[in-house]
Structure 1
Amino acid sequence: MRGNIVVVGAGYTGMMCAVRIAHRTRRDRDVAVTLVNPSDRFVERLRTHQTAAGQELTVHRIPDILDGSGVAFRQGRVTGIDAARRCVTIDGADELHYDVLVFALGSRADTTLVPGADDHAFTLDEPQRFAARLAEPGVRTVTVCGGGLTGIEAAAEIAESRPDLAVTLVSRGEPGAMMGERGRAYLAKAFERLGVTVRAGEGVAKVLPDGVELADGTFVQSNATLWTAGVRVPDLATAAGIGTDRAGRVVVDENLRSTTHPDVFAIGDAAAVRQAWGEVHGTCQSGIPTGAHAADNIVRLLRGRPLKPFRFGYFHQPVSLGRRDAVIQFVRSDDTPRRFVLTGRAAVRYKDAVSSSPIPLFRMSKRFNVYPYLSKGGRTTR
């Protein structure tokens, strides 16, 4: 059993995968696990909307989380992958060789979708920059572009934290369209209470320095524009010749293994994962299980055992509406809404438990094989 495992990206999925491999191979001296990330700070993406609204959150350092796990941390940005030589280039200079590569770089906001977004809009990839903009004198109007769960949480958080600001949410469709009727109705009442103006059915055509232009030509003034509509995956895998889809995600088989390079596994937002009911979309809820499953399959690979297919089903859509309100839409395995919805203070506690769970999960995984699945989908995944 020999293996040099390199995990690229220390988000929720990469962290889960690295810690789990190290724990399961802790007695094997010929196995080394290295986790590579540009920053030594662990980003809680489930809370970036809080940071964007100007809230101070606890800082978690990656070396502290990894302490005692057996995972070696390498701080640096992966700038290239040589799939033929099995190595990654770090910061354009140093090379790190691998026997198995785990591609866990996640995704970033796609600001190439409309003109001006890349130049004039902020994203939750750098929430501190947006928070600094909100703190500047003269900022009175904020526009959040995108009616998905990320945009909903950001608009509500900003409106609650900064009631002096006029917050507008622009969405091509109805905000929270993936939720059921009761969930959407509760969401609409929350926006009304918080004073968030919703412009639904009017997609953004252009982002300007002082506002956004809608598809019908309407101009919406905005001193600070936050872009949450769409994501993209870094093109490192595509550039390396690893098979990817149109969105740049690594195409994987049922074992989360690249269909073109068997020494590469891909997890989380960076992987095109399909189940019997359809395609898995990028969330922490699905990402952490892919990290755990890939780790188990890599250990099976090292030990010469058959790999097992990934099975997953969704369970819920937890949405915070500021610090004092939330809505939890429970769903079927394919992420379609069920009738049951949790709201109010109970939903706040539920959502906080969900957002707080990953780091304790990583720490537990240094000692135990923790299974981070709320649902494996039952019959719908077979």
Structure 2
Amino acid sequence: MNSTEPHHIVVLGAGYTGMLATERLAYRTRRLNVRITLVNPSDRFTERLRMHQIAAGQSLADHRISDLLDGTGVDFHRAAATAIDPAAHRVTLDDGVVLTYDTLVYALGSATDTSRVPGAADHAWTLNDPRRARHFSHRLTELARSRGAVTVVGGGLTGIEAATEIAESHPELTVTLVASAEPGSMMGARARAHLNRALDRLGVVRRVGVQVTKVLPAGVRLADGEVVPSDLTLWTAGVRVPALAAESGLATDAQGSVRTDPTLRSVSHRDVYAIGDAAAVEMGWGRIHGTCQSGLPTATYVADVVTRRLRNKKVTPFRFGYFHQPVSLGRRDAVIQFTHADDSPRRWYLAGRAAVLYKESVSSSPVPVFALSKKVNVSVTLSKGGRATKRTA
């Protein structure tokens, strides 16, 4: 770095990956002529992985982004990005401010997709926003008095955790989990058997192998025409990424995720990096799917790569392999399926109280990691996956 002007790094998004990348960048570049700006529409950090707990009526700590950044020297700008001009290195914000950047870190994440099924956007709830999740919890409390019915659509990890959390917190309710595939289908047989025993114990009704074709004000309609009555419907099926990257001319895949090279840099614009759910990242075994387990390593990697390039040092490709599938089954039970690098199940799994303790140790609040990242380089990668992660092209 020879310029007297500071190298300006702009990070879009203050979720798990955006916050961690920002904290690590601030630490790694503290002796360089660098200025960092973090942009986010909310001034509070949202723990997306624990949103189902809020929906079930539990309280989580409130973290202001400015407090999390205290002592880092990072400028926080509360706004939403509305346009990126990658040729001019400009980001336009919804408050009228235009930021120029030398390096852009795109960390806008994903949200539950309610656009594909009629009525989902109008009549179903999601776990995209903590305020809505809290409102949902109040509705649950009211509904429990009349012993009503709640339907959770989606048999992935979010749907399973939400259904079990609600059923445990409100045993008066009838909780139905509707899924196109068997819940826990990505797990091995023994872990899946424990999962089903937990669902039975909590009284969660399952409708498996069915498609929801419409969400109604008081139910969901299935492909065969049957209507499952539902006083409250929670939608957890499918995700979407913001359209901003595609609309701004960055190279994206069919879902709108930023296509990246082996160093997580945009294949079309060398000064843009993408991390977390917003990035299309390929390993030798295939594409990484959006989880905190894979997202946090992309954040630390990009912070390190940007710093190394500013120092004119060699960089090596990003490598990542999955290690486990941790699933909460309420507050007193859990199941952990250990996996190969490509997320396929190994023989080993953990269940019950031991799994609860394990999951809490690996999936608890990331705030302590953020704080530690101000002082040291924290490792958040459980596995680099060995040979399976190497790209063949």
TM-score (structure 2 length as normaliser):
0.95
Note if 1:257 corresponds to 2:265. Answer: yes
> Which amino acid in the other structure matches residue 60 of structure 1?
H
1:66–1:92 distance in 2 versus 1, CA, 3 Å: closer
8 Å CA contact retained: 1:122, 1:129: no
Q: Distance in 2 between matches of 1:356 and 1:189?
A: 25
Taking the aligned partners of 2:17 and 2:135, their CA distance within structure 1 comes to 25
The alpha-carbon deviation at position 74 of structure 1 amounts to 1.2
Q: Which runs of 5+ in 1 are unaligned?
A: none
Aligned to 1:111: 114
- Aligned residue for 1:82? 85
Residue 132, structure 1, aligned to residue 138, structure 2: yes
Q: CA deviation at 1:72?
A: 1.7
Q: Does 1:284 align with 2:321?
A: no
- State the shift of 1:128 in Å: 2.0
Deviating above 3 A after TM superposition, structure 1's stretches of 4 or more consecutive aligned residues are: 135-139
Q: Give, in whole Å, the separation in 1 of the partners of 2:86 and 2:347.
A: 47
1:148 is matched with which residue: 156, 167, 174? 156
Task: Select which of 184, 190, 196 maps to 1:182.
Answer: 190
1:253-294 Cα shifts (integer Å, max 9, x gaps): 110000001110000000000000111000000000000001
5 Å-filtered alignment, 1:182-221, equals: 182-221=190-229
Q: Which residue of 2 aligns with 1:6?
A: 10
User: In 2, distance between residues paired with 1:215 and 1:91?
Assistant: 41
Using the TM superposition, give the Cα deviation of residue 357 of structure 1 relative to its aligned residue in structure 2, in angstroms: 5.1
Contact 2:163/2:204, CA 8 A, preserved across alignment = yes
Aligned mates of 1:131, 1:246 — CA distance in 2: 35
Structure 2: which amino acid aligns with 1:65?
Answer: L
C-alpha distance in structure 2 between counterparts of 1:245 and 1:184, whole Å: 32
Range moving further from structure 2, 290-299 or 67-76: 67-76
Q: Secondary structure in 1 aligned to 2:381?
A: coil
User: In the alignment, is the contact (CA less than 8 A) between 1:6 and 1:100 conserved in 2?
Assistant: yes
1:296 maps to 2:304: yes
Which stretch of the first structure deviates more once superposed, 35-44 or 191-200? Answer: 35-44
Deviation, 1:307, is: 2.8
Alignment coverage as a number of residue pairs: 381
Choose the corresponding residue for 1:236, options 244, 262, 271. 244
SS at match of 1:96: strand
**Aligned twin of 2:364:** 356
Matched residue, 1:69: 72
1:23 partner letter:
Y
Write the distance in 2 (CA, Å) between the matches of 1:300 and 1:375.
Answer: 22
Q: Is the 8 A contact 1:49 1:124 kept in 2?
A: yes
- Secondary structure, aligned partner of 1:163: coil
Greater alpha carbon shift after TM alignment, 219-228 vs 137-146: 137-146
Could you tell me whether the CA contact under 8 Å between 2:147 and 2:172 is conserved in 1? Answer: no
> Where does residue 26 of structure 2 map in the other structure?
22
Identity %: 61
1:377 counterpart (371, 374, 385)? 385
The answer to whether the 8 A contact 1:23-1:70 is kept is: no
1:24-56 CA-to-partner distances (Å, cap 9, x unmatched) read 11112x201111111111111111000011111
